[in-house]
Structure 1
């Protein structure tokens, strides 16, 4: 399966329906879109178009423009269940063991897989499953078999025999994919903070970075579920946004050492899991912006796509196959508000990559 993804760094953007041509004009070849809203709320993704066709339309539009679509399936937190009224981590974990909610969840997940698989037309489509949830599970217990989840206990015959644990939940995802849409690629989200120590922001030593990666990879293997790709996100907000809106006084701004630790952590993760890596939801800010709403500064675009190729090489050598850019909150920078920096650097990168083929 790994051979299906070329060992070259693809570029991608957050992209709503109807914007595939814009993504191509920005010199990107991947795009991503959230599937969210909750499985039992009456306004989840499956209601956005009749009978879940939102997913198939998105995949088809991507395919027609030569783009690889990523659907980020983020449904558990926004569903109604045992976790209502709790904070994010507690709500996710409480919902995960709610039998009625999870029975609806598996039906909803199967619909997303089926719609994506039907529309793919033999092309690659990725379902990126529940970012953040895995980090919350890992923080609750290093062994996912110790975290309760409703799986076989939902009575869903497709999941008979699977354990009622977070490990069983991961196995259920893979089992449903195999049954409903075997060509859809599954993305597992490796939260940098799942161990309780961030390998980048808390400035651990190289040896500690290696130990953190080993713990994260051991957690992944303990799930007993073979995903196809591993996702990681450096941050979902520009560091200027975090400084001005969240008041973190610049602590989120990445230094050269941060990039070095991140690449080391990802390389360790790649070696331990054997999975291709995707850096996802990378902020789009740059140094030319005024740190105002929609136009905040950040380092990632210029560092990863700038003149100096060593960082691209470091991430490529670490096993990264794609950089997917996009903000994770209203008011963060987009490629439409960044003064054209992403488009200019992406175009230059694209031209250079074509010359070296």
Structure 2
């Protein structure tokens, strides 16, 4: 799986219509992309085309850097259609790059990033809308590994997202989410080596139960 640069597309969106954002495409790679336009939209198509040529056994995804997703889902959909996300194999959504217990520390911002059913429903609703807009599944990445048995010390921060996802896989599937990628976004966070076996245990149990059908 290739996730095309997570943050870059958000910066492109801030500059306007991707077809009007200048980029050196044909000059940078005339062999593979000589027919593409010199714009961010052309760059996207060039990268996807190169993945098809040079890594034919891979899948390639467009990262949804829609930092305004809660208020502008339709604007995000329009921008990604212009970028050519429909040519990718999947879309990639963010959950959080830190454990909620880490973010709750005054030194790390002191704010509440724990999930509620309402927060989860909003995120999954966005994923479903975006998946259906281009006919591609969504993969969620960088899901924090912490759990509520941790003690909010170095590499042992609390979070509730692992347990929520494994407890609500039907909702995940209904949102056309085809994959969950767990991993700390920063070295101080809880990891698979420090979470007390929670992620591995839940993964094995989910597999042994027969899993959840994709939708």
TM-score by length of 1: 0.56
Q: Per the alignment, do residues 338 and 246 of structure 1 end up closer, same or farther by CA in structure 2, a change over 3 Å counting? A: same
DSSP 3-state at the match of 1:179: helix
Q: How does 1:305-316 map to 2 (within 5 A)?
A: 305-306=166-167, 311-316=168-173
| Aligned length, in residue pairs | 212
DSSP 3-state at the match of 1:145: coil
Q: How does 1:22-171 map to 2 (within 5 A)?
A: 126-141=1-16, 143-154=17-28, 156-171=30-45
Q: Does 1:325 align with 2:147?
A: no
Quote the offset at 1:246 in angstroms: 4.9
- Structure number with greater Rg is 1
Could you tell me which runs of 5 or more consecutive residues in structure 2 were left unpaired when the two chains were aligned.
none
Segment of structure 1 superposing worse, 279-288 or 184-193: 184-193
**Cα RMSD for the two superposed structures:** 2.0
Structure 1 residue runs of 4 or more that deviate by more than 3 Å after TM superposition: none
Q: How does 1:195-234 map to 2 (within 5 A)?
A: 197-199=68-70, 208=71, 212-224=72-84, 226-234=87-95
Quote the offset at 1:183 in angstroms: 3.5
- CA contact 1:140–1:147 (8 Å) conserved in 2: yes
- CA contact 2:62–2:92 (8 Å) conserved in 1: yes
Match of 1:303 in 2: 164
Q: 1 CA distance for matches of 2:164 and 2:53? A: 42
Deviations 1:273-300 (A, max 9, x none): 1101111110001111111111111110
Q: Per the alignment, do residues 155 and 291 of structure 1 end up closer, same or farther by CA in structure 2, a change over 3 Å counting? A: closer
Deviations 1:50-93 (A, max 9, x none): xxxxxxxxxxxxxxxxxxxxxxxxxxxxxxxxxxxxxxxxxxxx
Q: 2 CA distance for matches of 1:349 and 1:178? A: 32
Q: 2 CA distance for matches of 1:253 and 1:268? A: 23
Match of 1:240 in 2: 101
- CA contact 2:97–2:142 (8 Å) conserved in 1: yes
DSSP 3-state at the match of 1:153: coil
Q: Per the alignment, do residues 326 and 265 of structure 1 end up closer, same or farther by CA in structure 2, a change over 3 Å counting? A: same
